[in-house]
Homo-oligomer: A and B are copies of this chain.
Amino acid sequence: MDDAIARMKQDAFANHLGIELVDAGPGRARVQMAIRDEHRNSVGMVHGGVIYTLADYAFAVACNSHGVLAVAINCSISYFRPPQGGVLTAEASEVSVTRRLGTYTVRVTDTDGELVALFQGMAYRKTRSV
């Protein structure tokens, strides 16, 4: 698992956004990110694509944690409220894993601990190891 996690840290886009991998284990991951000016949309809110990317990265770490290369095939996200404070956290947990498919939910919370968005991702697991 450690190799897979080390590999996941070399994520150029996650690094570019300032997302940090805080904790990971089999089927789970927690990541966080300080909000920057460049993360905002045309009305000054944190961009939906930033919140999605944060959740997607937690999902990617969790579903690749078993050492089998897994790629996202279908993801959905619901947005509940604009985040308060300067830090966003995303926590992924495993719902189901079979030989070929893995499903994960990710909760995105703000500095107040309020739920900002809920993400669900399904990954296809390839046979070769990461």
- Write the residues of chain A forming the contact surface with B, with a CB cutoff of 8 angstroms: 7-14, 16, 37-43, 45, 47-50, 52-53, 56-57, 60, 69, 71-81, 95-96, 98, 100-101, 103, 105, 115, 118, 120, 122, 124, 130
Q: Which of B14, B49, B100 contacts A57 (CB 8 A)?
A: B49
Kindly state the separation between the CA atoms of A100 and B7 in the bound complex, as whole angstroms. Answer: 26
Contact yes or no, B98 A47, CB < 8 A: no
Residue among A12, A42, A103 facing the most chain B CB atoms (10 A cut-off): A42
Closest to A116 in B: B96
Residues of B close to A98: CB separation below 8 A: 80-81
A39 to chain B, nearest CB (A): 6
Contact yes or no, B77 A100, CB < 8 A: no
Residues of B close to A57: CB separation below 8 A: 49
Kindly state the separation between the CA atoms of A79 and B52 in the bound complex, as whole angstroms. Answer: 14
Kindly state the separation between the CA atoms of A27 and B115 in the bound complex, as whole angstroms. Answer: 16
Kindly state the separation between the CA atoms of A42 and B8 in the bound complex, as whole angstroms. Answer: 5
Q: Which of B37, B75, B76, B78 contacts A48 (CB 8 A)?
A: B75
CB contact under 8 A between A42 and B101, given known A49-B49, A79-B74: no
Kindly state the separation between the CA atoms of A37 and B105 in the bound complex, as whole angstroms. Answer: 28
